[in-house]
Amino acid sequence: MFSKGLDTPGILFLRRPAFYAASTIVGAILCIRFVSKIWPGIPLSLWLVLLGISLPLSFAGRVKLRQLSTRRAAASIGARPIPCLQGKRVGNVDLMFKFLEIFRTGYPGDGLDEVVSDVGTIFNTRMLFEDDIITIEPNHIKALLATDFDNFEKGDKFRATTLSLLGTGIFNSDGEMWKFHRSMTRPFFTHDRISHFNIFDRCADEAIPSMKARFRAGHAVDLQDLMLRFTLDSSSEFLFGHGIHSLRGELPYPHNTRPEVKSVPDGDTAEAKTAEAFARAFAGAQYAISQRFRMGPMWPLFEISKDNTKEHMEVVNAYIEPILQNAINKQKARPSTDDASLQETLDEDTLLDYLVRRTTDITILRDEVVNIMTAARDTTASTLTFTLYFLATHPQVYSRLREEVLTKVGSTSRPTYDNIRDMKYLRAVINESMRLFPAVPFNVRDSIKATTLPSPNPAEKPLYVPARTSVTYSALLMHRRKDLWGPDAEEYDPDRFLDERLRKYLTPNPYIFLPFNAGPRICIGQQFAYNEISFIVIRLLQNFTSMTLSPEGQAPETRPPAAWASAEGRKAIEKICPRMHVTLYSYGGLWVKMTEDGEAC
Ligand code: HEM
């Protein structure tokens, strides 16, 4: 992990270019001394100019050589280089700043759809002279995730960006280390546990009364905030058996509402305060990591003097480590574990109970728990936020889904696994939400060896991917392609997962829908996520007959800009501002009002 002083991300980042610059200048000085011995009359000013341009010259030479060798290597295997974007400034810096700005404030994917229509579905952005490929081709994504899996890894850049939060856990490791984590953790997720439904139920029982209290007082509720609390509380409980109880804290008020009486949450004990500090620190560390992704490849330069995650991680670790130590001590006091009793522990309720039977190494346990919390929490909250956004803006979908809830589960019964499996329309509603707003809209893999990807036009030569090159792929842009999903691809219509469009588009080409990724690294929490999302959506629909957006609840600067109305596609009709860091979210929240069952509209 990064530490203080000379090991900050910024200093580590600068080491390589500093070494390159120093060795180039020393080389130039040696050349000058050598040449001045042969031609002693050359004036000092000329030497200084030569010394000054030695660095940019050597850099330009290296870039040119690399481009030539890529072209030659591609030709030697009958492939062609991937088309490069041509910016107006050297090193495509204009494009870099444009995309970074769009990434910060624009509609997800803005700018790229224009590039796709000009250049095609795969291109090389080559910003700052680095090859960086972007693709939205299902065949390419299939190669990265499945058919050429061994040649594509998460890679050093992703690892360096997330290292201080994730250490070396399942989410950011590669090779043998990843196999170790995956094989250790996956069996826990292979069957549904009653205990998980108990957790969802407890969390729903905390969330729904708080919502009702707010609605009865005439206020809107930010469902994004509520779903983040719901997924934090449920994941902490299923991971290590300690509820964070963020749902017991006070919910935010709409931006224009000043609460008359500030209610003090119950259970304001030392334990509750520590849990709250953990929740804040975990969010702080995740935010610092998301800022790194947002700043692009130069992020370490913004962390020259300190690692921005460090203070947060000290609080996170101080909270988790005693819980882990306690579990380790209990495990060590148990009789030794043979294979048969290990098999029985597949039924353990918490992931920690299960993991501690397999290793008592506290670093591995910490990394695994933090990795899974990171993988589980924001993704599920994001999917819930956009599912609820669509339900709020499509009353006919809300009514039809509520009908299914009342028919299959009833108005008060607790949803079961069998209910959820049986609710085809609910699954279609969730899938359609993930199609238009996949929680992880962009993802990346790095090539290990040079390879090729098929050309989108089969009549053309395959495309050459050099070794150690980042390939970014976008589920979001692919999920909205009209040539893959039909002319109504930008519309929200859950029926496309039920009617003849399913057989026409998705069944013959399953790689066009990848909210959970695919291949050996497919999300291990997929079923858990469907259960959790379904559970809380059912509970909400049992309790409320309708839901509408309450845009006045959110600060004006977080509402969709007026200029969006004249844009093309979904951007023109969006009622919220979708933004992204690693996951998608609604800028300013998702403010809604809901009508209780039995209440007059
Ligand atoms: C709707 C909710 C979720 C979505 C959309 C989602 C999506 C994803 C995606 C796209 C990946 C691939 C990341 C990559 O390889 O770059 C992934 C991996 C992963 N997910 Fe999920 N996820 C969700 C919920 C969960 C939950 C609830 C858990 C655990 C309880 C979980 C655990 C994991 C883990 C451990 C990985 C890493 C797998 C590996 O690298 O082998 N996810 N998820």
Tell me the residue range of the domain where 200 lies: 178-257+266-439+515-596
* Residue 413 resides in a domain: yes
Q: Is the CB of 523 under 6 A from ligand 1?
A: yes
Q: Determine the residue of 174, 379, 521 to mutate for testing ligand 1's pocket, defined as the one with the most ligand atoms within 8 A of the Cβ atom.
A: 379
Contact 25/54 with Cβ under 8 angstroms? yes
* Distance (Å, whole) CA 231 – CA 532: 9
Cβ within 8 Å of residue 267, ≥6 positions away: 245, 248
Distance CA 541, CA 406 (A): 9
Measured CA distances, 87 to 93, 97, 100, 213, 471 (Å): 7, 11, 14, 54, 19
Check pocket membership of 515 for ligand 1, CB cut-off 6 A: yes
Question: Which of 76, 93, 113 is at the close of a domain?
Answer: 76
Among residues 76, 92, 109, which one ends one of the domains?
Answer: 76
User: What does the radius of gyration of the chain's CA atoms come to, in whole angstroms?
Assistant: 27
Strands (DSSP E) found in 438-560: 442-447, 451-453, 463-465, 470-474, 544-549
Task: Quote the pTM value.
Answer: 0.91
Residues 6+ apart with CB under 8 A from 405: 423, 426, 538, 541, 542
Amino acid 4: pLDDT: 45
Query: How many angstroms separate the Cα of 172 from the Cα of each of 160, 179, 298?
Result: 9, 12, 20
* CA distances from residue 424 to 116, 406, 498, 502 in whole angstroms, order as listed: 34, 14, 8, 13
Together in a domain, 341 and 231? yes
Q: Does 521 contact ligand 1 (Cβ within 6 A)?
A: yes
Distance CA 495, CA 456 (A): 29
534 lines ligand 1 (CB under 6 A): no
- The ipTM is 0.99
Asked if residue 121 belongs to a domain, the reply is no
Considering the domain architecture, whether residues 54 and 196 belong to the same structural domain is answered as: no
For the chain, residues with pLDDT lower than 50 are 1-4, 264, 600-601
Report if residue 128 sits inside a domain: no
Under 8 Å between Cβ of 421 and 364: no
199 and 51 within one domain: no
**DSSP 8-state code for residue 357:** T
**What's the 529 CA to ligand 1 centre distance in angstroms?**
9
Name the residue with the closest Cα to ligand 1, atom 39.
521
Total count of domains within the chain:
2
- 185 and 58 in a single domain? The answer is no
Residues 418 and 293 in one domain: yes
Q: Residue 44: inside a domain, yes or no?
A: yes
d(CA 366, ligand 1 centre) in Å: 18
Q: How many CA atoms lie within 13 A of 310 on its CB side?
A: 13
CATH number of the domain bearing residue 327: 1.10.630.10
In this structure, is residue 459 part of a structural domain?
no
Helix (H) or strand (E) holding 397: helix 395-408
Contact 558, 587 (CB under 8 A): yes
Tell me: do 334 and 191 sit in the same domain.
Answer: yes
Residue 198 falls within a domain, yes or no?
yes
Instruction: Give the per-residue pLDDT at 265.
Output: 52
Domain boundary among 76, 99, 130: 76
pLDDT of residue 259: 67
Residue 512, both tokens:
């066009």
For residue 380, being part of any structural domain is answered with: yes
Is residue 120 one of the residues assigned to a domain? no
- Integer Cα distance of 526 and 288 in angstroms: 26
